[in-house]
């Protein structure tokens, strides 16, 4: 049964991102209790249990129950991210970390494809309740597989270096060149995309596209093109360097948002909508590659991992805020003006892209390898 959530409610689901915005706060707990391997397996069991429970209220269309369940899922999933990163760093030396980084990215993209494509299409063909039952079974299977296959790992600081104080990492950020411009850039670079992505599914629904078709367009087509875009972006940056390629990538990313103004005004047809979704996701993948390399470049030196976490958390706060406000904006001004506003929100990031990238790109090949 569909819950019939409004554009405002759909936008407010961006607040689930707060779990990832604040995930660095659970780091000391994961570091100090039990082993990383047990955290990974235990949290996967937790995700499976909550997914199983979520299938029940979906049968009755209880929006409040589903919303609360998604909140619990978000917290568990964000903590799982921390545990996976900790296990990865603790169990592998630097050479193996580099060797497996591409596999991590590929696995993440496959999971995105399965969730946003496969499960949504399954939900359209059957029901969301059945899709969550399938998800629960898959997660139980994953937890069992990891319980049998993951090697033992050190539990945290006792087996390695203690985590640096957060204040020390923040202080190291404050002495970075152009720190003010960099922080504003991190906020604004994905502001337009954050608005667009928060309302993309609801907009496609307003064009009378059913759940199955939306899953096909956003999940299968969109995610596939975004993977291609990330690869293309990595090649682009590796050949031209970040300082020369970032402004062009930012301009391209903003222009892709403008395509949604076209289909919002034309209200279709399906072929045009499919082309725009594919093109926008391809360009979004290129934009993501640029952002990742930029943050990696700014995270070199001491406390690299923690500096990266702080930068991504800072950026994602802005994404969460923009997405949560998106529904109110759509209701007030409609989709054509909303997408025009999203395009305008991307322009400050475009302007700053000409000033924030470092001219020394010597470390970029290593950064690009981490993209997979």
Distance CA 235, CA 241 (A): 10
CATH number of 164-372: 1.20.1250.20
pLDDT at 340: 93
Distance CA 47, CA 81 (A): 12
pLDDT at 22: 78
Distance CA 169, CA 309 (A): 10
pLDDT at 342: 92
pLDDT at 365: 45
pLDDT at 58: 57
Q: How far is CA 98 from CA 83, 89, 215, 299, 339, in A?
A: 18, 11, 33, 16, 39
State yes or no: pLDDT of 59 exceeds 70: no
pLDDT at 29: 75
pLDDT at 350: 93
Strand, coil or helix: 358: coil
Q: At what angle do helices 335-356 and 179-188 cross, to 10 degrees?
A: 150
pLDDT at 117: 61
- Nearest Cα neighbor of 122 from 186, 197, 216, 46 is 216
More confident residue, 20 or 258: 258
pLDDT bucket at 333, cuts 50 / 70 / 90: very high
Answer yes or no: are the C-beta atoms of 168 and 303 closer than 8 Å: yes
Alpha-helix runs per DSSP H in the chain: 7-12, 18-21, 27-32, 36-60, 63-91, 94-113, 120-125, 128-149, 166-174, 179-188, 191-206, 211-214, 223-240, 242-266, 270-298, 304-333, 335-356, 364-369
Q: Is the entire prediction scored with pTM above 0.85?
A: no
- Nearest Cα neighbor of 365 from 232, 178, 182, 240 is 240
Answer yes or no: are the C-beta atoms of 90 and 31 closer than 8 Å: no
pLDDT at 309: 65
DSSP 99: H
Q: How far is CA 67 from CA 5, 23, 210, 319, in A?
A: 11, 20, 22, 20
Q: Is the dihedral of CA 20, 73, 44, 129 positive or negative?
A: negative
Residues of the chain above pLDDT 70, percent: 73
pLDDT bucket at 48, cuts 50 / 70 / 90: very high
16, two tokens: 């689930």
The domain spans of the chain are 1-163, 164-372
pLDDT at 42: 92
């Amino acid at each position: 049964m569909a819950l019939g959530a409004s554009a405002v409610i759909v936008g407010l689901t961006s607040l689930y991102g707060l779990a990832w915005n604040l995930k660095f706060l659970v780091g000391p707990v994961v570091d100090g209790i039990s082993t990383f391997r047990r955290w990974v397996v235990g949290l996967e069991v937790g995700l499976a249990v909550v997914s199983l429970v979520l299938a029940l209220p979906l049968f009755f269309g209880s929006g409040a129950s589903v919303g609360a369940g998604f909140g619990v899922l978000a917290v568990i999933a964000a903590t799982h991210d921390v545990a996976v990163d900790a296990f990865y760093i603790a169990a592998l030396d630097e050479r193996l970390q580099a060797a497996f980084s591409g596999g991590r990215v590929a696995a993440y993209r496959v999971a995105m494809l399965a969730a946003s494509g496969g499960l949504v299409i399954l939900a359209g063909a059957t029901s969301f309740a059945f899709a969550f039952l399938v998800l629960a079974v898959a997660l139980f299977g994953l937890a069992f597989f990891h319980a049998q296959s993951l090697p033992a790992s050190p539990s945290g600081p006792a087996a390695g270096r203690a985590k640096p104080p957060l204040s020390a990492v923040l202080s190291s950020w404050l002495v970075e060149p152009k720190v003010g411009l960099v922080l504003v850039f991190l906020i604004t670079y994905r502001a337009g995309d954050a608005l667009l992505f928060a309302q993309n599914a609801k907009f496609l629904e307003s064009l009378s596209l059913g759940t199955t078709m939306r899953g096909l367009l956003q999940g299968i087509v969109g995610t596939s093109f975004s993977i291609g875009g990330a690869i293309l972006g990595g090649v682009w940056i590796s050949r031209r360097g970040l300082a020369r390629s970032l402004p062009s990538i930012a301009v391209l990313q903003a222009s892709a948002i403008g395509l949604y103004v076209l289909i919002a005004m034309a209200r279709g047809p399906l072929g045009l909508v499919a082309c725009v979704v594919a093109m926008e996701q391809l360009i979004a993948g290129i934009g993501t590659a640029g952002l990742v390399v930029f943050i990696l470049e700014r995270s070199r030196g001491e406390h690299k991992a923690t500096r990266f976490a702080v930068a991504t958390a800072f950026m994602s706060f802005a994404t969460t805020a923009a997405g949560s406000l998106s529904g109110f904006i759509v209701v007030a001004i409609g989709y054509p003006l909303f997408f025009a506003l999203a395009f305008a929100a991307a322009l400050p990031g475009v302007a700053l892209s000409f000033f924030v990238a470092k001219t020394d790109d010597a470390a970029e090949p290593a950064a690009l390898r981490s993209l997979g």
